[in-house]
Structure 1
Amino acid sequence: MANNKKKDKKFTRTMQKKLVVLFAGIIVVFIGLNVRIAQINAKSGDEYTKSVLSQQEYTSTVLPYRRGDIVDRKGTVLATSERVFNVILDTKQLLATKDEAHINKVISSLVSCFQLDEAQIRQYISENPDNAYYILKKQLTKDDKDAFEDLFREKKDDKTKAADKKDADDTKADEAKDSEAEDGAAVADADTDTEVPEEEEEEVSSVSIKGVWFEKDYVRKYPYGSLAADEIGFTSSGNVGNGGMEGYYNSTLNGINGREYGYLNDELELERTVKEAIDGNTLVSTLDVNIQSIVEKYIREFNEAHRDEARPGDGSKLTAVMMMNPNTGEVLAMASTPEWDLNNPRDLTPFYSEEEIAAMDDETRMDALNKIWRNFCISDTYEPGSTSKPFTIASGLETGKLNGNETFVCDGKQVVPGAPKGIACVNRYGHGLLTIEGAINVSCNDALMQMAAIIGTDNFCRYQEIFGFGQKTRIDLPGEANTSGMLYTADKMKPVDLATNSFGQNYNVTMIQQISAFCSVINGGYYYQPHMVSRILDASGGTVQNIDPILLKQTISEKTSATLKQYLYTTVSGEKGTAKKAAVPGYKVGGKTGTAEKYPREDRNFLVSYLGYAPFDKPQVVIYVVIDEPNVEEQNHASSLACEMASGILSEVLPYMNIFPTEEIPEDTAQDGQQDPASPQTDPGAQDGQEPQDTGTDGQSPEEGGQDGQTPEDGQDGEGADSQAPEDGGPEDEEDDGIPYSPPDTQQSQEPDQNQVEE
């Protein structure tokens, strides 16, 4: 025992010193660490805090921007974005409640309100317990959202309802006391309704339901359906504009999404940071809803009136109308068939049977849709026919090659190099002696060919370029055709080409080119760039940009313009004018008709048109009507249909524009060519001592009515064609009367570059 005690070691003084030193060292190390941590925190504390928080669980919600509206010139909404909601299921939050009663309430409410499948919801919850974002249903209206929340509220117990009611009553009582304390001015203001902002209204009306929330979104709507579909365009998913102003101004209409972040801070409190969305800009277009509606009404009535008349189908293969302000280049209306619904742009059922649609593959389906969406007014080309004659005459007067006092003898045809048997006039027996004004009144091809020979190839081609043919107008719409290869150049134009070009055959134009050039002919010679948008507004209505008219050039002098304006006026008002049916009772108007025979010539299909202006003294509107293959027995006698449509449209549009009649209105307006735009076509025929209406054909072979092998230079104008086939016989359909000539490839009708939409 004594020996064991001797072996025990004592806690010596030396050991105490070592222990003190050890503890002191540890304390120094801790102090050093604390000092270093303090230094790091002072220098980079925020950075490390954010780094740590970024690794914690947080939520991030996109706040969608609102795409800007498209409105007409008077503010009528053509395209808008309406608020909708996507119902989101947060399974993680729902299960975190660990409240079976609550979970069942949520599921039953979703099923009953949105007609969802309960089994599928429960399966998703069980298979995805950690998912915080699952879209159950898209594009719900606010009424749908409110109905769900109301349905959920109805499942609260009576005590909760009573408590809510008591709180509401107390709030109303407090508000009543505050109201009594207000002065007289405040009492007076109480009679005025106060508008509650949409965001605040939603916050007040919303109810918090754990596990389910509503994501805000927008859906594009078009209040007028098919109205101005080609010009407006539509959007696909992701706010991508397709066609029309929606496509051209896509980046202007789009905004920037915002975002809401939620995360736990260093004190484990939920914090939210919101970066607000920036809404898109609004386009104020040059269109007028009322004028557009009138135009589309007449197109619709025309197609119904002539449906199945000469062949099964609509009243024409295609009908198009444009109206512009000649003094600014603003497009007032633009329409072409077929009609299609902007709210359902991919619906093929109005155009194809169910069997045809079912048989389509994806490529065929997209081809069909692109044909429907195609804007004829800017994307398709055609031979203009006699509506081009004013440009030929204007170039002659402007260059001084013509002085306006010349006379020309029409003997029924014109012999030119390359056409030894001659190119026929609309009147096979000849119009006789004609002035320049008389030539355009009766639409004499022979006289125009003689004028073109005097003008010369160089001048003619130069003025085609001055008037903008062969060039894009740069209108603010996608898909404008490229016609640069569809005109002859001076070095390649032969005498026969010059002859046929003089009356609108053997070269191609677009409607937007033709009407823009015509505006300069009757407005003093000023060529304005055509445009669809006049102003851009921000989301609050402030002006971002004014888009003023752009004067590009002066094509002809004011003197030449005044002369042409007079010639066109007598073409409508004169006794022998071919456009008499374009007259508008009470107004002085002017214009020119056209009838162009299409390729292949032997098919005898025609495109008829009318291009005119109103009123005579100060033109405020130009109208261009094109009817492709009218559904009538004799298409080459159908240009009066275009005149009648233009007359009907102007008879409604001019009073609407506050352009009032200046002439006495005859009791029987039918005597002046005014009739129901939907009335059947009547063939006026050739009358003694009077030239017939515009009923001939552009593009027929010389001295014949359009046999196989017809050529573009073998053209006949569309005016007065009854004379080419007189009842007592004549040179119609004589064998081998034409010339076997085909234009170069660059002159053929081509499909323009088109911004096609891929689904």
Structure 2
Amino acid sequence: MGEKKKPRVNMTMRLRVLTALFLVIGFGLVGVRLLYMQVFHHDFYIQKATSLQTRDTFITPNRGKIYDANMQVLAESAEVERITVSPKAVVSETKEKNGVTADVQRQTLATILSETLDVSYDSVMEKLNKTDSEYEIIAQKVDKDVTKELNAKLEAAGCTGVYSEPDTKRYYQHGSFLSAVLGYVGSDNNGAYGIESQYNDELSGTAGRIVRVQNAQNEDIVPDTQQYIPAKDGNSLVLTIDSDIQNYLEKHLETAFADNPEARDGVSGIVMNIKTGEVLAMANLPDFDPNDAYHLTSEVYINELKTDVQKILTDAKIAAVIPDKWYEEGGLANLPEELQKNDDIVSKLGSARVNILMKTWRNPVVSDNYEPGSTFKLMTVATAYELGEVNEDSSFYCGGSLMVGDWKEPINCANTSGHGMQTLTEALMNSCNVAMMQIVQKVGMARFYEFYKAFGLLDQTGIDLPGESRGQFHNTSETSDWNEVALATASFGQRFTVTPMQMITMVSAIVDDGKLKKPYVVKNVLNADGTIKSTTDPEVLRQVISEDTSAYMREAMEQVVAAGTGKNAYVTGYRIGGKTATSEIEKERDETGKITDTEDRYTASFIGVAPMDDPQIAVLVAINDLPESAPHGGGAIAAPVVGRIMEDVLPYIGVTASYDEDESDRREQTVPNVIGMTRDAADEALTNSGFEYIIHGEGETVTDQVPSSGIRIPASGRVILYMGEEKPTEQIEVPDVSGMDPDTCRDTLEEYGLYLKQRGVATSQITGDTTASSQSPAAGTKVSIGSVITVEFSDTTTVNDR
């Protein structure tokens, strides 16, 4: 019996040995693996585990504020939230066990997210189906009240995997105000265009972080291990822009744009402090709202986009009607369904719309080139005067044209019948091309080019705005490009280009004792706590001309406005100087080089300076890309705009009006209160105040008066006294005075019991061609008796400056 059991014992022993061996080998392998993982590759696996358990959330810092020169807030950021999902955490296993499939759970969540956050259901579903992802952004810049509403819906539906993170949203307090200068902030909180882009590093700040250790269900494993690194808010900027002056500029540019609807590239303007180089105002129309930068609102640009789109559809032989909503807002969903699946057409339409948007975002004052035309004559004369080649006693004969070099055709003056003999100042007043060509022949190509460089026209001005251009001049190393003919046309500002910013800095140097300054728009950078980090000081780049030359140029420029082509920029009581221009534009061509313009086109511009005894501000206005069939003269349509801006800005900056004898008819005085006085007492009070009067009634005392006391009217206006009679109470309909000369206009208004406030051409320069061009209030408006009607007079026949 004992011998029979021996094999079983041996078998048992072998099994035990094998089991022990397997255990040893198994634990050995585990040990080796643990040694491999915990010793030799410890860092790798720690990093792997950490990456799977760690949730890292970035905190967007508050972007710095942008203030105007008076510390009014122009742009600031507010706290909002970013909504994200973790597709891995969206599906609940508990719900699946209760019969709610994963697809249904995702669909329910997508519906809630799309409806509450106003995002596409399909795009949300696409992100929820990325089941390998732990982080997908659903919506950004979500207001907190919307997030609160969303959380309530998610809780009610039992949805999981949705999170909110701190974010910021940029707000521009005044909509499109100053948009070309400010630019805007994109969805990534980085600046695009304008100051937002130029100073992005200063404004952005540094992002913060929240680091959590979480399990697969996105629950904190150890709450106390959360790390919070606060965001560092961005610095703020104080601009040189004065919001009140900016308002004046934009108001008058809007009128200019409305008055010149055929200006293909809109209107532009700058107001600059001559003494410092500070930009006080800068604007372009059409503009955009930086709060909604991708929304097109300008009819001009929408119509241009429609033309581009029609060409795309025609070339593709597609007949489709694209709704206005797409032109305004863009977006695939706003295109007709038959186009949405045509990737090629969708791409071309999107590109066309982006091209138009970029036109609205750009700042042509610094980035666009144009031929300056006759405003450039200021440099020609200043250069020749500085070199001693001409003086105030020099004279020039203009017969209407001049033959130059080997050019086969005469080069014409704007006045093709000629100006006859004229002094240097008169040549500027007349904007005479022939005189400029004669002057520049004395200067010569080399010296002209040296002064062109000295005035900074070959370089960017260095203004702290992005996208600045530098214009283009002739290739002076090629005689085929830079020769006598090129010099002649350059003398009156044609066949080369500059930027408006280059022009206004050049003119400012000419009138400010010859000192060329660097323009700028940011005065201070503020730390997040409001202390000053840095200040921009005025910078004189170089002395270009002497004080004597500058003094002569100021006198000549004043005469341009007083009695020359700039007479429509005249402002009563102020000494204004300037120069007009009507510059030709090269015709547009298609891809094959064929000219597409059917007529000649022009830029009408004017640069004004005031006050001429001590220049403080320079104003440039350009009305861009006008057809010859429309009014296009700088003296006729741009000079009046500068005059209106000056009339608002000069009193605002503290320049007091001063009237000489020639302006006595426009001096305004305050009407005294004579109600209750006897006739003799009223006579004395009104006479002492410089007013004439008429009487209605035969009472012993004044029972009423028109205008009421405290109203300012021209000294030439007559006060109406009611002696025992009641003043009429019914309102008067303002008559239409357009086209009337000043005397007829005044008489007409007085017949209605209204008073004329005359603006525009100086009284000494009024001719039979000086007529009313605008009035406020408009014709047909109901006003009270005694109201003052402001009428602007202009002259379109003696201001030709081409």
Could you tell me how far 1:306 is from its partner in structure 2? Answer: 3.9
Determine whether 1:237 maps to 2:202.
no
For residues 93 and 660 of structure 1, do their structure 2 counterparts lie closer, same or farther at Cα, with a shift above 3 Å needed? Answer: same
The aligned amino acid for 2:197 is G
Note if 1:429 corresponds to 2:518.
no
2:247 aligned partner: 293
Deviation string for 1:480-510 (max 9, x for gaps)?
A: 2243444656965322222222121222211
Mean Cα displacement is larger for which, 404-413 or 546-555? 404-413
- Within-5 A mapping of 1:506-517: 506-517=495-506
Q: Tell me: CA distance 1:135–1:475, structure 2 relative to 1, closer, same or farther (3 Å).
A: closer
Q: SS state of the match for residue 669, structure 1?
A: strand
Q: 1:348 to 1:590 in 2, by over 3 A?
A: same
Q: Which residue of 2 is the match for residue 701 of structure 1?
A: none
Task: Determine the C-alpha separation between the residues in 2 that align with 1:124 and 1:414.
Answer: 72
Q: Distance in 2 between matches of 1:587 and 1:495?
A: 40
CA deviation profile, 1:443-466 (whole Å, cap 9, x unmatched):
222222221112222211111111
Q: Does 1:660 align with 2:656?
A: yes
Alpha carbons 2:568, 2:635 under 8 Å: kept: no
Give the alignment partner of residue 146 of structure 2, picking from 144, 147, 153: 144
Moved more, 376-385 or 266-275: 266-275
Maintained 8 Å contact 1:63/1:259: yes
In the other structure, the counterpart of 1:550 is: 539
1:648 has 2:644 as partner: yes
1:498, 1:661 → 2: CA distance?
A: 41
**Structure 2 vs 1, CA of residues 128 and 431 (structure 1 numbering), >3 Å: closer, same or farther?**
closer
8 A Cα contact 1:264 1:270, kept in partner:
no
1:1-80 → structure 2 map (5 Å cutoff) = 54=50, 57-80=53-76
Distance 1:622 1:381 in 2: 20
Provide the residue aligned with 2:575 in structure 1.
588
441, 451, 459: which one aligns with 1:463: 451
Out of 405, 409, 426, the residue aligned to residue 417 of structure 1 is 405
In 2, Cα distance between equivalents of 1:428 and 1:52: 85
The match for 1:578 is: 565
> How far 1:397 sits from its partner (Å)?
1.5
Partner of 2:167: 217
Cα 1:490–1:406 change in 2 (3 A) is farther
Contact 1:443 1:578 in 2 (8 A): yes
Question: 1:305 Cα shift?
Answer: 3.0
Change (3 A) 1:683 1:97: same
3-state DSSP of counterpart to 2:581:
strand
Give the secondary structure class of the aligned counterpart of 1:662: coil
Separation in 2, partners of 1:233, 1:97: 49
Q: Tell me the CA shift for residue 554 of structure 1.
A: 1.0
Distance change >3 Å, CA 142–CA 456, structure 1 → 2: same
Q: 2:558 aligns with which of 569, 591, 608?
A: 569
CA distance in 1, matches of 2:492, 2:431: 9
Deviation at 1:526, TM superposition (A): 0.9
Once residues 368 and 684 of structure 1 are traced to their aligned partners in structure 2, the CA distance between those partners, rounded to angstroms, is 36
Preserved contact between residue 636 and residue 696 of structure 1 (Cα < 8 Å): no
1:362/1:111 Cα in 2 relative to 1: closer, same or farther (>3 Å)? Answer: closer
Kindly, what percent of the aligned residue pairs are identical?
A: 30
- Within 2, Cα distance between the matches of 1:660 and 1:278? 47
Amino acid aligned to 1:299:
L
Deviation at 1:565, TM superposition (A): 0.7
8 Å Cα contact 1:630/1:638 also seen in 2? no
Q: Aligned partners of 1:672, 1:683: CA distance in 2, in Å? A: 6
Question: Is the Cα–Cα contact under 8 Å of residues 648 and 675 in structure 1 kept in the other structure?
Answer: no
Quote the offset at 1:126 in angstroms: 10
Which consecutive unaligned segments of at least 5 residues does structure 1 have?
Answer: 1-36, 156-208, 308-313, 687-691, 698-759
- Give the C-alpha shift of residue 86 in structure 1: 2.7
Distance 1:419 1:125 in 2: 69
Residue 433 of structure 1: how far off its partner (Å): 2.6
Query: Which residue in 2 is equivalent to 1:344?
Result: 292
Distance 2:221 2:363 in 1: 61
| Matched residue type, 1:263 | V
Q: TM-score, normalised by structure 2?
A: 0.65
CA positional deviation for 1:264: 7.8
> Could you tell me which of 432, 437, 442 is aligned with 2:430?
442
Q: How far is 1:369 from its partner?
A: 2.3
Rounded Cα–Cα distance in structure 2 between residues aligned with 1:116 and 1:598: 46
* Structure 1 residue aligned with 2:395: 407
What letter corresponds to residue 65 of structure 1 in structure 2?
P
**How many residue pairs are counted as aligned between the two chains?**
603
Distance, in Å, in 1 between the alignment partners of 2:124 and 2:75 is 40
In 1, are the aligned partners of 2:601 and 2:628 still within 8 Å (CA)? Answer: no
Match of 1:386 in 2: 374
Q: Hey, which bits of structure 1, 4+ residues long, moved more than 6 A?
A: 46-53, 90-101, 106-113, 119-132, 149-153, 264-267, 677-683
Partner of 1:744: none
Counterpart code for 1:258: G
Structure 2 SS opposite 1:361 = helix
Out of 233, 236, 240, the position equivalent to 1:282 is 236
Q: Please tell me whether the aligned partners of residues 579 and 606 of structure 2 are also in contact (alpha carbons under 8 angstroms).
A: yes
1:319 Cα offset (Å) = 1.4
Deviations 1:658-709 (A, max 9, x none): 32323364445336359649999988465xxxxx2x2242xxxxxxxxxxxx
Q: 1:361-400 maps to which residues of 2 (within 5 A)?
A: 361-400=349-388
SS at match of 2:489: helix
The code of the aligned residue for 2:250 comes to E
Decide whether the 8 Å contact of 1:529 with 1:552 is kept in 2: yes
For 1:612 and 1:116, the matched residues in 2 are separated by: 50
**In the alignment, residue 231 of structure 1 is paired with which amino acid?**
V
CA distance in 2 between partners of 1:116 and 1:595 (Å): 50
Counterpart pick for 2:599 among 578, 598, 603: 603
Taking the aligned partners of 1:481 and 1:112, their CA distance within structure 2 comes to: 44
1:528 corresponds in structure 2 to: 517
Gaps of 5+ in 2: 1-34, 311-326, 328-334, 336-344, 588-596, 668-713, 715-756, 763-771, 779-790
How far apart are 1:588 and its partner, in Å? 1.0
Residue 568 of structure 2: SS of its match in structure 1? helix
Q: For 1:460 and 1:487, how far apart are their aligned partners in 2?
A: 14
Separation in 2 of the partners of 1:532 and 1:122? Answer: 43
1:603 alignment partner, SS class: coil
| CA 637–85 in structure 1, closer or farther in 2 if over 3 Å, else same | closer
Report SS of the residue matched to 2:580: strand
Q: 1:264 to 1:84 in 2, by over 3 A?
A: closer
CA deviation string 1:599-643 (max 9, x = no partner)? 349833222111111112221110011112447845454532101
Cα deviation for residue 214 of structure 1 reads: 2.7
CA contact (8 A) 2:268 2:622 kept: yes
CA-CA distance at 1:263 after TM superposition: 2.9
SS in 1 for 2:195: helix
Asked whether 1:695 is paired with 2:800, we answer yes
- Matched with 1:480 is 468
Query: What's the CA shift for 1:467?
Result: 1.0
> d(CA) in 1 for partners of 2:408 and 2:110?
89
Matches within 5 A, 1:345-360: 345-348=293-296, 350=299, 351-352=301-302, 357=327, 360=348
SS in 2 for 1:531: coil
Name the CA distance, whole Å, in 2 between partners of 1:453 and 1:126: 75
| Aligned amino acid, residue 189 of structure 2 | N
1:211/1:606 CA distance change after superposition, 3 Å: closer
The structural deviation recorded for 1:362 is: 3.3
- Determine the C-alpha separation between the residues in 2 that align with 1:268 and 1:471: 61
Structure 2 CA distance, aligned partners of 1:320 and 1:382? 12
Q: In the aligned structure 2, how far is the partner of 1:332 from the partner of 1:81?
A: 24
Does residue 33 of structure 2 align to residue 83 of structure 1? no
C-alpha distance in structure 2 between counterparts of 1:337 and 1:66, whole Å: 31
Q: Helix, strand or coil: the match of 1:536? A: strand
